[in-house]
Structure 1
Amino acid sequence: MSRTRTPVVANWFTGEGEGFRLLGTRCSACAAVFFPREDVHCRNPGCGGGDLAEAPLSRRGLVWSYTDGRYRPPEPYVSDPELPWRPYTLIAVELEAERMVVLGQAAPGVHVDDLEVGMEVEVVPGVLHEDGETTWTTWHWRPVGASA
């Protein structure tokens, strides 16, 4: 039996492989870009408001900061309390074109020792959790040139 692939959060990313992108929204009045996406109103306090349109974000950016998560986070994060906790790496990535920083987990096998501030990384599809019926998909950051 195959599992259904389901995004952890709907409409935050799309595509596969080289076509994988995070999805934000752009205000038609002030051109501000938002991620997570904003579908109701422009969050720019200096803007009178405009229509919001879906905007695929840059696939690559520069490491702005990074750390490792050495504690078991609370729900809704999915983890089995019966299994030992394994640290994971978080990366804050600056997207120059959008003038924003986006946080996400590092791709499996990427650790803090593999990273440095200013390093180029790319967004790739990832898996947050699998259960008997569903593969919960998300995004990961991976150093450019690193193999999947």
Structure 2
Amino acid sequence: MTRTRRPVVAGWFTDDTVPDGEFRLLGTRCSACAAVFFPREDDACRNPACPGGGALAETPLSPRGRVWSYTDGRYRPPAPYVSDPEAPWEPYTLVAVELAAEGMVVLGQAAPGVGTADLAVGMEVEVVPGVLHRDAEHVWTTWRWRPVGTEGRA
């Protein structure tokens, strides 16, 4: 049986099958103040200094950034997150990445095989497609952060 690929949250990132292969997080930019938001904002600008009235347009975020902080997740997440209590627990690495052009920090898991020992504050990383969970019907896709130059890693 073929599983359908589904994003964990629709509209937050490009499909990992895009023709040019350029996987990107998607935010929104306010036309009045140029503030960029991720997660995306579709109703109104969240910038308290915005003069108001600006249209919000989808904008791809920078594909690379610098590690701002990182840690390891050593606990099973609580509901509503998917966590099979029968499956062995595997710790994961969380990475906070500064996107300088957008003036923001974006949190996400590290790519498989990347642990805290592989990261350093200030290191350049890139966003890559990832899989959060598989069930009988779907492959739930998400984004991950990977150090630049480690494309061949698991």
TM-score range, shorter chain: over 0.9
What's the offset of the Cα at 1:86?
1.1
* CA distance, structure 1, for counterparts of residue 124 and residue 31 of structure 2: 29
Q: Does 1:4 align with 2:4?
A: yes
Identity, in percent, stands at: 77
Alpha-carbon distance, 1:44 to partner: 0.4
**Residue 124 in structure 1 maps to residue 135 in structure 2:** no
How far the C-alpha of 1:98 sits from its partner, in A, is 0.3
Structure 2, unmatched stretches of 5+, are none
Structure 1 segments (4+ residues) deviating >6 Å: none
Output the amino acid matched with 1:90. Answer: L
Q: Which residue of 71, 76, 83 corresponds with 2:80?
A: 76
* Greater mean deviation of Cα atoms: 16-25 or 51-60: 16-25
Deviation of 1:76 (Å): 2.0
| 1:144 counterpart (122, 126, 148) | 148
Q: 2:113 aligns with which of 106, 109, 113?
A: 109
Q: For residues 124 and 111 of structure 2, what CA distance do their matches in structure 1 show?
A: 14
Distance in structure 2 (CA, Å) of the matches to 1:144 and 1:104: 16
* TM-score computed with the length of structure 1 as normaliser: 0.97
Matches within 5 A, 1:58-97: 58-97=62-101
Between the aligned partners of 1:13 and 1:7, the Cα distance in structure 2 is 8
Find the counterpart in structure 2 of residue 29 from structure 1: 32
> What residue number does 1:99 align with?
103
SS across alignment from 1:46: coil
Q: Counterparts of 1:37 and 1:68 in 2: how far apart (Å)?
A: 26
Paired positions, count: 148
Q: Secondary structure at the match of 1:13?
A: coil
Shift of 1:48: 2.6
Equivalent position amino acid for 1:9 in 2: V
Higher strand share: 1
Residue 47 (1) aligns with residue 50 (2): yes
Give the TM-score of the pair, scaled to structure 2: 0.93
Q: Structure 1: state its 5+ residue gaps.
A: none
Distance 1:74 1:48 in 2: 40
